[in-house]
Amino acid sequence: MQVCPTGPGEVGKSTSQGATAAVQVDGCVMWHGEDMNRLLDIVSNNALASTLAGAVIVGLIGWSAKALKDRRDSATIYNFMISSKPSTGFAFRSTAAIASNTKLSEIRVANLCASHPKIRRNEKQLQSWTLVE
């Protein structure tokens, strides 16, 4: 069981039977004892529960890694678009030109540009992109 602040000066309450001791860490009261032991016992002795817990952990790690990589590559594309506009004088850049200069695949560039809030697709020529002003 855990009692943690839900907002400034507020405390959310929850109850549990079998809690043996409470420890306060950073303003959050955490109960230790039978509840924690029961949870660890279920995960360690139940194959289905441990498989599900492991799958959730692996999924979260994979999702986090993908999100970080997408964020990094999107920033690379955006920075290229900003730096190439004054030097080339072109308002639109092709997917191939972006991919060539950022060393990313054309498919990845197209997907990241399509989802980036500050980059939009040319309505007449679909494989070219510009910055939203």
Count each helix (H run) and each strand (E run) in the chain, helices first.
Answer: 4, 6
Phi, psi (deg, nearest 5) at residue 44: -80, -25
User: Quick check: 3 pLDDT over 80?
Assistant: no
Cα 66 from Cα 63, distance rounded (Å): 5
Residue 73 pLDDT? 96
Architecture of domain 64-133: Orthogonal Bundle (1.10)
Residue range 62-117, pLDDT digits in tens: 999 999 999 999 999 999 999 888 877 778 899 999 999 999 999 999 999 999 99
| Paired strand residues for 2 | 30
pTM for this prediction = 0.64
Residue 15 pLDDT? 47
Residue 27 pLDDT? 59
Q: Where are the domains of the chain?
A: 1-45, 64-133
**Cα-based angle 10, 37, 4 (whole degrees, multiple of 5):** 5
Residue 37 pLDDT? 82
Residue 97 pLDDT? 93
3 versus 99: the higher-pLDDT residue is 99
Torsion of CA 27, 28, 33, 36, to 10 degrees: -150
Q: What is the longest distance spanned by two Cα atoms in the chain?
A: 71
Residue 28 pLDDT? 60
Question: Is residue 99 within 8 Å of 105, Cβ to Cβ?
Answer: yes
Residue range 20-58, pLDDT digits in tens: 455 555 556 555 667 778 888 888 888 898 899 899 999
Handedness of CA 92, 96, 99, 105 (dihedral sign): positive
